[in-house]
Structure 1
Amino acid sequence: MSFRAIVTQLKTLDSPFARNVGWLGGSGAVIRVSRLITTIILARFLSPHDYGLAAVVLTTNEFIRVFARNGIGIRLIQVEEKQLENLAQSAYWLNWAIFIGLFAIQCLTAFPIAWFYRDNNLIVPICGMAFNLLLLPLGMVQAALIQREGRFKAIALTDMLQVCTDNILSAVFAIAGLGMWALVLPKMLVAPIWVYGILKNHSWRPKGQFTTARWGELMRFGRSVLGAELLNTLRANLDYLIVGRFLSIEALGLYYFAFNAGFGVSFGIISSIKSALLPHLCDARSNLVQFRWRYQSSLKTIALVIIPLVLLQSFLAPFYVPLIFGQKWMVAVPILILICLSAIPRPFADSASQLLLAVDKPEIDLVWNLLFTGLFAIGLFIGVHWQSVGVAMAVLLTHCLFLPLFAVWATRYVFKRQKLDQKC
């Protein structure tokens, strides 16, 4: 495709979606630059063992935080306007009940995790990270309402401020010689920034007393969404668990570095696309032509952004890794390239999942995630026999083989069903 054709294609893309992705992607770019600088500093001052310990702490926290993506926010985005206020009140109190429970679970989980990895130094940081969970309910409803209104600029700027502050503190703490804590402590300190930013950008506040009304409705809708998110998080961290347990903490540190240095750039853009796509599609559900056009335009945006970026980064990896991060990380380059290439099919499958959510079919997405997680786990357990490179190869092959099949099937299913519904 010529440069002129690419420019023409970009001009025809749907502007609201492109604008929202632009805000999220722009803030993500700033975040990635700050993270790149931080990663360079961390690579100079931290050992693979430090990286490995931090990976265990952050992975444990991520497994618990997945319950923040429990479908309650998606329900608030989807629900009709006349039901929104009552549902928001119920969602606020339900979130408090959920996150108080999660706080207790994470603290208790610290002890078996330390036993599993044979290192009691993991207990204190895992428990410390749990305190962040008690702040999230303050802004969860408002964050969903901001997305419902399509004001992704507010979300983008809040995320940028929080994560950039996190990255700066990590660099400072690494230079100060804090080791593993250079990655963990900043995340504990910057959590209030997100709460402040979200509350400042939306006027909604809870009214009245504690209520359990409509909790059942929220949990029934959210269970399939939460199930899919749990499986997504399991897949996102299963390779860490396997490398850390069956190889070594040092091998995990090397793998964790390669994953973040390779996939980190693409992950920010993929997350931006996923966040912006659902409200973009929901707004056009009643018009099949507009609904299809928005989805297809979104896929074009994804292809034009992700594919060239990933290929360029993969090609340049052998040159920039030793130059920027240091010669000691050169051994991670093959892992980095394989993980980086696995980013290409991910946003297309994520878009298909958002398409299913937009037409109220979260249970189908859950079934798919169950199937793919099983296939992914089998691939990882086979790949670990060839050390970290084998695990990375398993990540690439499973994503390239199965995600495109799901994306094609889900797209055909939704639009065939929508067409039949309109005829009826």
Structure 2
Amino acid sequence: MTFINKRHLQKPNFLDSLINRLQEKLSSQFLRNLSWLGITEIVYRVLRLGLVVIIARFLTPYDYGLGAIVMTVREFTLTFTNVGIGAKIIQAEEKELEVLCNSAYWLNWMIFISLFFIQSVAAFPISWFYKNNQILLPIIVSGLVYLIWPVSAIQKTLIQRENRLKIIAVTDSLQNSFASIFSAILAVAGMGVWSFVLPAFLVAPLELIIYYYFHDWRSHSKFTTKHWGEIFSFGKNLLGVGLLKTLRNNLDYLIVGRFIGIKELGIYFFGFNAGLGISLSIINAVSSAILPHLCAARSDWFEFKKRYFTSLKTISYIIIPFVILQASLAPFYVPIVFGQKWVPAIPVLIMICLSAISRPFADAASQLLVAIGKPNLDLRWNIIFTGIFAAALLIGVHGQVFGVATSVLLVHLICLPIFTFWVTIFVFPRLGRC
């Protein structure tokens, strides 16, 4: 009788199990979408790193401060585009999709044109607030891109609805890469704050061409306001959440620039971008991928639950090791890569970088509330969190830029895990195994 070692019998079973688990994970639509978004973001961030190095060497902290103000204004303005158009189209039934898209197309034009004029007018009191007329024209010019985006906005949303995020990821990567190259050229040419303003306008036509090519939807209706009320009703909570998030993301800039100084704002802005730039890309990729991923399984509660917890696990495997590694290496790579003049920004960079750990989990919880039709709860939480965040910043400002950065870290590491846990047990009160 031939002797058979039992260990040899166990190996194939173990290997088969491992292979099956890997195949199951790789077959996940969420993971594939997240992989495409992540890969293209990494490519972009490699180029972006080169841009930051160039800008850090050719621009002064004062230029950085002016750029921070212009970018903050534009980000605030763009928040008002989130009136629920994209989320409503993603959630819509197939039978109402065409009519909804036509109505949303005209609504997009009304919103973006209005925002261009509002931002142009707001540039005057903003320059007065910061006591600096150098930011007046850049703020106005940065709004010109709003007159291009509505052309292909519906096509982009439909591509997202169809879970073809590979197209969006590649498009974003191409745009960001070209924008980085233009920014570097302008910085070397001594264009100062214009290095932050002009690239977005120069590359905007690229997404119009790509989305028109990859989706055949076209508006064939005359101007209509049908479904506008329905869209606003659905999106009012999303808009509120977006405004509060944007306020939080920029409140530190407003406080540092107004109460500490433009140069100090430049140091803080550099630390924020160098420390949180890549992490925010991953967080944004998660936010873009998770809503359609969850909505596709709403009819199957077990699968819906499984997708959510699998997404959290994926986030933890990606974001936590990366953030810790980046923060720990900051004292070594900042003076070498960016130059000695940015050494004072290292503590700020580390604090802001570590604050990224809890952000994607809270974003996933927010998307979970949207997926089950409870964006109002997300809005209530964001009101509370914004109040806490503002109070912490006003306390931290007494410690200059490091005090502000420390406040950002503490608030995010304490409050966001509480919110994520609460949402999870609210939606899934009986946490069985998925």
Write the distance in 1 (CA, Å) between the matches of 2:45 and 2:178: 12
Write the distance in 2 (CA, Å) between the matches of 1:280 and 1:288: 13
> What does the per-residue CA deviation read over 1:178-213, in whole Å, with 9 as the maximum and x for residues that have no partner?
111112121221121222222222111101211111
**1:8/1:119 CA distance change after superposition, 3 Å:** farther
1:168-317 mapped onto 2 (5 Å cutoff): 168-317=181-330
RMSD: 1.8
Partner of 2:348: 335
Partner of 2:405: 392
Tell me if 1:127 matches 2:140. Answer: yes
Q: How much does 1:66 deviate?
A: 1.2
Partner of 1:106: 119
User: Of 318, 332, 353, which residue of structure 2 is paired with 1:319?
Assistant: 332
CA contact (8 A) 2:155 2:215 kept: yes
Amino acid across the alignment from 1:372: F
Write the distance in 2 (CA, Å) between the matches of 1:74 and 1:273: 15
1:62-81 mapped onto 2 (5 Å cutoff): 62-81=75-94
CA contact (8 A) 2:83 2:231 kept: no
Amino acid across the alignment from 2:238: V
Write the distance in 1 (CA, Å) between the matches of 2:297 and 2:430: 16
Q: How much does 1:10 deviate?
A: 6.2
The runs of 5 or more residues in structure 2 that have no matched partner are 1-14
Q: How much does 1:68 deviate?
A: 2.3
Amino acid across the alignment from 1:298: S
Q: How much does 1:11 deviate?
A: 5.7
Q: How much does 1:355 deviate?
A: 0.2
For these two proteins, the number of residue pairs brought into alignment is: 416
Partner of 2:422: 409
Partner of 1:95: 108
Write the distance in 2 (CA, Å) between the matches of 1:239 and 1:136: 28
The runs of 5 or more residues in structure 1 that have no matched partner are 420-424
User: Of 41, 54, 61, which residue of structure 2 is paired with 1:41?
Assistant: 54
Q: How much does 1:9 deviate?
A: 7.4
User: Of 118, 129, 146, which residue of structure 1 is paired with 2:159?
Assistant: 146
CA contact (8 A) 2:355 2:409 kept: yes
Write the distance in 1 (CA, Å) between the matches of 2:283 and 2:100: 29
Write the distance in 1 (CA, Å) between the matches of 2:383 and 2:22: 36
Partner of 1:163: 176
CA contact (8 A) 1:277 1:351 kept: yes
Partner of 1:422: none
> What does the per-residue CA deviation read over 1:13-39, in whole Å, with 9 as the maximum and x for residues that have no partner?
362111000110111001100100000
> What does the per-residue CA deviation read over 1:94-149, in whole Å, with 9 as the maximum and x for residues that have no partner?
11111111111000010000000001111111110111111121122111111100
CA contact (8 A) 1:53 1:249 kept: yes
Q: How much does 1:354 deviate?
A: 0.3
Amino acid across the alignment from 1:276: A
> What does the per-residue CA deviation read over 1:338-373, in whole Å, with 9 as the maximum and x for residues that have no partner?
000000000000000000000011111111111100
Partner of 1:15: 28
> What does the per-residue CA deviation read over 1:147-198, in whole Å, with 9 as the maximum and x for residues that have no partner?
1000001101110111100000111111111111112121221121222222
Q: Share of identical aligned residues, percent?
A: 54
User: Of 340, 362, 377, which residue of structure 1 is paired with 2:390?
Assistant: 377
Q: How much does 1:61 deviate?
A: 0.7
Q: How much does 1:224 deviate?
A: 0.5
Q: How much does 1:216 deviate?
A: 0.4
Write the distance in 1 (CA, Å) between the matches of 2:22 and 2:420: 22
CA contact (8 A) 2:77 2:119 kept: yes
Task: Give the secondary-structure state (helix, strand or coil) at the position aligned to 2:266.
Answer: helix
Structure 1 or 2, whichever has the larger Rg, is 2
> What does the per-residue CA deviation read over 1:254-286, in whole Å, with 9 as the maximum and x for residues that have no partner?
000000000001011110011000000000011
**1:365/1:7 CA distance change after superposition, 3 Å:** farther
**1:382/1:6 CA distance change after superposition, 3 Å:** farther
Task: Give the secondary-structure state (helix, strand or coil) at the position aligned to 2:218.
Answer: coil
Write the distance in 1 (CA, Å) between the matches of 2:369 and 2:342: 41
Q: How much does 1:418 deviate?
A: 12
Write the distance in 2 (CA, Å) between the matches of 1:292 and 1:208: 40
CA contact (8 A) 2:255 2:397 kept: yes
CA contact (8 A) 1:70 1:229 kept: no
Amino acid across the alignment from 1:22: S
CA contact (8 A) 1:10 1:301 kept: no
